[in-house]
Structure 1
């Protein structure tokens, strides 16, 4: 792969080669990080600074950045480990490996030049490049830097399978601020839309025919209350034939004929 100069006008095809991501991946990633093309091409310096948070200070740095990235699966093969075993080492505190750049699930990348330097060095040494300030921040600093509530950061980082882009250096995690800001914007837009939909539902007119009728035994008002009271007065008492108790079996009371009527034969 050719080494790109820092002002090389890279096409998406160039960037796919440099990053090992596909053109369908690297384009949306740069958009998410706020990088715009210039005449349909991307000056490499923009890519270095926004994706990696690195800017070359000299020709050595420029050459190292221009050599591109390697996937963790390829690096694992080069150091004789399984990919998951290498990732465990990179997550450990104070490890001696170069920084790991994570741009999504199964998008774990490292600088090719730093891996080659480490492999060639008897002491596993590699040349660091000073990162740009505030490009990537620890979780504890994100809320203050982005001027949002800590609860919003907590909600965003709750899903460990879909975290924003981040950099692991000696096991310490820093989140790329531009990606966190973009994720928060999308999260807030979704919450706002849900609130507006809920408010819209509450403002809908009530269908008068969609109201459940009141129970005949439930207390009502006005004319219905009077009608209910009059109906209750006409109901048979507990001593009626339909009532319960000993009187109901004998048929005494209001439903029975009087003794005088029986004797007269009427």
Structure 2
């Protein structure tokens, strides 16, 4: 990906800019942000909303603004940068208490890391990188989703058992936390899919009758950066100093096992 000047936190990004920042396509970044509860301001997206809704992070100073603004990188490229296969990198990212930056998973082929954190890790003799806190309410372990969302554990278990496409999640230090917004959206979709159909009514505003033939309505269409990174790395804490989610070990991540997508077979 071509290097570009990091975005400021209030930068009004276009979909083209967001596609470059995120590695998503122009056509998929909008629906992804909408699903995660990130609305545009007019036709553009203030980056501070994107950081918060997509990553659960908010920059506390200029250094973190540069870190987030530098964008995301796919693990296929990270594997090349660290000199290992993609499968080996994914296995390492799943290992408990590993020293790598967090991995964000938004789909079977969207395994992403913060580019600046990866570059800091590789530039530092101590493999150090600047950690940013992910808000607790943004992503939760499997064991805490039911209580947080007010649904039964059985519904959560059924949702996470999906082999095709588990909810978006973040893996940090080998522990998996699911993005609450994506889990909420999937639960709502499941409720709609299983809701029994109402009997047809001639007075329904959703159907218009012309003669004996009902007519249904039409469906709606659903250089500068390197210097900044060096400045951050000079005072960056080591990855070993990162906090671990000790309460998560009680049940959630390991009780449910690693989701199929966390095998991370990226291409």
TM class by smaller structure? 0.7 to 0.9
Separation of aligned partners in 1, 2:164 and 2:85: 21
Higher RCO structure, 1 or 2 (CA under 8 Å, sep 6+): 2
Give 1:5's aligned residue. 8
Aligned-residue offset at 1:113? 0.5
Aligned-residue offset at 1:155? 1.1
Give 2:84's aligned residue. 81
5+ unaligned residues in a row in structure 2: which ranges? 201-267
Deviations 1:125-179 (A, max 9, x none): 1110122221000000000000111111111111133111100001100000001
Q: Is the aligned partner of 1:39 residue 2:49?
A: no
Question: Residue 120 of structure 2: which of 117, 120, 128 is its match?
Answer: 117
Deviations 1:11-43 (A, max 9, x none): 000100101111112111001111111111000
2:176 aligned counterpart, secondary structure: strand
More helix by share: 1
Q: Is the aligned partner of 1:187 residue 2:200?
A: no
Separation of aligned partners in 2, 1:133 and 1:140: 13
Q: Is the aligned partner of 1:18 residue 2:21?
A: yes
Which consecutive segments of 4 or more residues in structure 1 shift more than 6 A? none
5+ unaligned residues in a row in structure 1: which ranges? 201-266
Mapping for residues 246-265 of structure 1, pairs under 5 Å = none
Question: Residue 150 of structure 2: which of 129, 147, 150 is its match?
Answer: 147
Give 1:92's aligned residue. 95
Q: Is the aligned partner of 1:61 residue 2:64?
A: yes
Give 2:51's aligned residue. 48
Separation of aligned partners in 2, 1:173 and 1:107: 16
Two-structure CA RMSD over aligned residues (Å): 1.2
Aligned-residue offset at 1:81? 0.8
Deviations 1:37-71 (A, max 9, x none): 11110000000001000000111111100000000
1:31 aligned counterpart, secondary structure: helix
Give 1:126's aligned residue. 129
Separation of aligned partners in 2, 1:189 and 1:144: 21
2:178 aligned counterpart, secondary structure: strand
Q: TM-score, normalised by structure 1?
A: 0.72
Give 2:111's aligned residue. 108
